[in-house]
A and B are shown apart, each in its own frame.
Chain A
Amino acid sequence: MSTLPDPAPEAPSAEAPVAEPGRESLHYAVRNPKLIIGVSLVAILLAVGAIGPVLLGDGNPNEYVGPQAAAPDGTYWMGTTTFGQDVYAQFVHGLRATFLVGVVGGAIAAVIAMLVGFLAGYRGGVTDEILNMLTNVVLVIPALAVLLIINAYMGVRSVAVQGLFIGLTSWPWAARAIRAQTFSLRTREFVDLARLSGSGTWRIVFREIAPNMSSYLFMMFILLFGGSILIASSLDFIGLGPTEGVSLGLMLQSAQQWSALQLGMWWWFVPPGAGITAIVGALYVANVGLDEVFNPKLRES
């Protein structure tokens, strides 16, 4: 459920120049509870994913190490699977994979969205018509359905490749949002001035237009990041995840496949889902916080 609200007709940051916009944003950022809660939750989970596997000695999380189907206790904090795999070890390794797929998928989608959105919005005319048509076509085709076919035929081995394909299919809504923002900025005086002084398209886009919507671009990346994580977990769950390693989605899939539900092994399926929900939810909440920091209109309530 991740679409940015339609951009306000004018970008707030392009209005009367604020003395030190960075300082002012920071002032509100450290006083915004939503942003603080969201960012700290993501940071904690990131730290667990980064340090957890190291503390466990970087062993293979899928090895059969403990008693079979044991409930959580002092040794196995999250219990063990039917085969005696340590759920906690899988969880911390899975967090890594989940963050990785979010970063790769989100970054690739953001880059494509920016290229398409800036070019369509700034150039206008025939370029815009073609790119807009392309965006609309990709937008209508359900990303997961395409990924099903691609993954089933190609067989995806690694998390990074999974992220790549997710990025290639999930950019359209972001491209449309950027296009709309660029449209509203391209007739401003400072853009005209840059054009008169002979700057090329990409120089104007990256020196004049992009900085004026940087907050918007950053929020868009956060939503693409969360969206990639959700799509990846669905793919993993259907059985089209990476064939090597472990991810939170793959944990859910094996819990489902080996009837953890019927056996009442809640410690097998609760942690991975809770991990995904916590990451994505924290990102959304942080995003709302950022929105309030950057947009003065939303601050007062």
Chain B
Amino acid sequence: MRRYFARKLLIYALTFVVAVTVNWMIPRFMPGDPVSAMVARARVSQPEAAEAMRSYYNNLFGFDEPLWQQYLHFWGALVRGDFGISIFVFPTPVGDVLLDALPYTLGLMIPAVLLSWFVGNWIGALSARRKVLDNTVLPAGYLLTAMPYMWIAVILAWALGAKAGWFPISGGYSLDIQPGWSAAFVLDALHHWVLPFLSLFLVALGGWAIGMRNMIIYELESDYASYLSALGAPQRLIRRYAFRNAVLPQVTGLALQLGVLVAGALVTEIVFAYPGLGSLILAAIQNQDFFLLQGAFLFIVIGVLIANFLIDIVYVVVDPRTRTGMAGGTS
């Protein structure tokens, strides 16, 4: 087990280094003169913002310094938690801007991902090898999982928001309410949360249901299932064993799908103008705010790494083989 975690942590550390390096390299090795091009493209109105941008870029690229020194400085700033100053909301530090948006993204993603995973696995397990249910779950699952996240979000906003008028279609809370921990605000925020949550939940649900259905069928075909049924074990028991085995690849699948889920959350937020990282990224792109964009990139990478590690811990709990150091786990 120690070896399993050591290996995982090595991969994550390496991934983080690669991500930071990519983040450093792309602006550095871009063709042309990046600094003046970016300052010109940003078209900032305040002269002090333009100056701060120019000096920070010059500092970042540091044309007078050797490359390795620039690279070390980049790491140094990162370790101090300095992601630069946002142009879009000048002069707030990028770190603060991102931290303000983070609760909205997490509040949307964590329930949507976990609930879709549990409900999807449950539906998939129920429908495997049951003709009637399977014939409805399978097509519905494929339809949902093929939908682009932003499209289902637009459709839901149009049908349940604009047409039916049940839910607001824009923002994370009403503008006339002061954000805080009052009951009125929490209810209002929940009301705004429903549609973005639902669109994330539905698309992810389809994928999990199909995955679980296929895994259960695979398990029910295996020798131990045939043996159990030859012994006369009740169907319920066999299905329970199949389920426990089939859950393992689904846990790994959750880790593999994290990138897709994050992407889905970002575009869903944009549809609903939900005040999370997605809307910030859109604003950063529209305002050519590269510090904000690069900071958001690092936030996403760090978040995905943490989530991966949590899933690894869960995997050790659910798969006894990793604990005895035999096998299991996909390194």
Taking Cβ atoms with an 8 Å cutoff, the residues of A that contact B are: 1, 3, 5-6, 132-133, 136-137, 139-146, 148-150, 152-154, 173, 176, 226, 230-231, 233-234, 237-240, 249, 252, 255-256, 261-262, 264, 266, 269-270, 272-274, 276-278, 280-281, 283-285, 288, 297-298, 301
Known: A153-B290, A239-B282. A140 touches B11 (CB 8 A): yes
> Which of the candidate stretches B60-68, B89-97, B100-108, B147-155 sits at the interface with the other chain?
B147-155
Q: Is the CB of B256 within 8 A of A149?
A: no
Q: Is the CB of A256 within 8 A of B270?
A: yes
Q: Which of A136, A238, A249 contacts B266 (CB 8 A)?
A: A238
A132 to B23, CA, bound (A): 23
Known: A145-B301, A153-B290, A277-B146. A1 touches B263 (CB 8 A): no
Q: Which of B169, B210, B270, B293 contacts A148 (CB 8 A)?
A: B293
CB under 8 Å from chain A, chain B span 52-98: none
A234 to B151, CA, bound (A): 10
A121 to B255, CA, bound (A): 23
Known: A145-B301, A273-B154, A277-B147. A238 touches B19 (CB 8 A): no
Residue of B nearest to A287 (CB): B142
Q: Is B251 an interface residue (CB 8 A)?
A: no
Q: Which of A132, A140, A237 contacts B15 (CB 8 A)?
A: A140
Q: Is the CB of A238 within 8 A of B146?
A: no
Q: Which of B210, B215, B281, B301 contacts A141 (CB 8 A)?
A: B301
Q: Is the CB of B146 within 8 A of A281?
A: yes
Known: A142-B262, A145-B262, A239-B286. A1 touches B145 (CB 8 A): yes
Minimum CB–CB distance for A70 against chain B, Å: 18
Q: Is the CB of B151 within 8 A of A277?
A: yes
Residue of A nearest to B152 (CB): A273
A274 to B155, CA, bound (A): 10
Q: Is B297 an interface residue (CB 8 A)?
A: yes
Q: Is B22 an interface residue (CB 8 A)?
A: yes
The 22 listed contacts between A and B (C-beta, < 8 Å) are A141-B301, A142-B258, A142-B304, A143-B263, A144-B266, A145-B263, A148-B293, A149-B22, A153-B26, A230-B148, A233-B148, A234-B148, A234-B150, A234-B266, A239-B285, A256-B271, A261-B157, A262-B162, A269-B158, A270-B155, A273-B152, A288-B142
Known: A1-B204, A154-B30, A256-B150. A281 touches B142 (CB 8 A): yes
For residue A139, which residues in chain B have a CB less than 8 angstroms away from its CB?
256
CB under 8 Å from chain A, chain B span 254-296: 256-260, 262-264, 266-267, 270-271, 281-282, 285-286, 290, 293-294, 296
Supplied contacts A142-B301, A281-B143, A281-B145, 12 more A-B pairs, CB within 8 Å: A136-B15, A140-B308, A141-B304, A143-B259, A144-B266, A252-B151, A261-B162, A269-B154, A273-B154, A278-B146, A281-B142, A297-B221
A282 to B177, CA, bound (A): 45
A233 to B300, CA, bound (A): 20
Q: Is B5 an interface residue (CB 8 A)?
A: no
For residue A234, which residues in chain B have a CB less than 8 angstroms away from its CB?
148-150, 263-264, 266-267
Q: Is the CB of B293 within 8 A of A141?
A: no
Minimum CB–CB distance for B238 against chain A, Å: 17
Q: Is the CB of A142 within 8 A of B263?
A: yes
Q: Is the CB of A273 within 8 A of B262?
A: no
A269 to B11, CA, bound (A): 41
Q: Which of A231, A240, A262, A280 contacts B263 (CB 8 A)?
A: A231
Q: Is the CB of B11 within 8 A of A238?
A: no
Q: Is B218 an interface residue (CB 8 A)?
A: yes
Q: Which of B12, B150, B158, B207 contacts A266 (CB 8 A)?
A: B158
Q: Is the CB of B294 within 8 A of A276?
A: no
Residue of A nearest to B257 (CB): A1
Minimum CB–CB distance for A288 against chain B, Å: 8
For residue A231, which residues in chain B have a CB less than 8 angstroms away from its CB?
263
Q: Which of A150, A238, A266 contacts B281 (CB 8 A)?
A: A238
Q: Which of B263, B270, B285 has most A Cβ within 10 Å?
A: B263
Contact with A along B195-209 (1 / 0, CB 8 A): 000000001101110
Minimum CB–CB distance for A225 against chain B, Å: 12
The 10 A-B pairs at the shortest CB distance, nearest first, are namely: A1-B207, A273-B151, A281-B146, A142-B259, A144-B263, A280-B146, A1-B145, A145-B300, A140-B15, A137-B15
Residue of B nearest to A1 (CB): B207
Minimum CB–CB distance for A275 against chain B, Å: 10
A226 to B147, CA, bound (A): 11
For residue A153, which residues in chain B have a CB less than 8 angstroms away from its CB?
26-27, 30, 34, 290
Q: Which of B12, B256, B267 has most A Cβ within 10 Å?
A: B267
Q: Is the CB of A1 within 8 A of B260?
A: yes
Q: Which of A6, A136, A284, A298 contacts B11 (CB 8 A)?
A: A136
Q: Which of A270, A272, A277 contacts B143 (CB 8 A)?
A: A277
For residue B217, which residues in chain A have a CB less than 8 angstroms away from its CB?
298, 301
A176 to B149, CA, bound (A): 26
For residue B19, which residues in chain A have a CB less than 8 angstroms away from its CB?
141
Minimum CB–CB distance for B229 against chain A, Å: 16
Minimum CB–CB distance for B126 against chain A, Å: 16
Q: Is the CB of B285 within 8 A of A152?
A: yes
Q: Is B305 an interface residue (CB 8 A)?
A: yes
CB under 8 Å from chain A, chain B span 124-181: 129, 142-143, 145-152, 154-155, 157-158, 162, 169
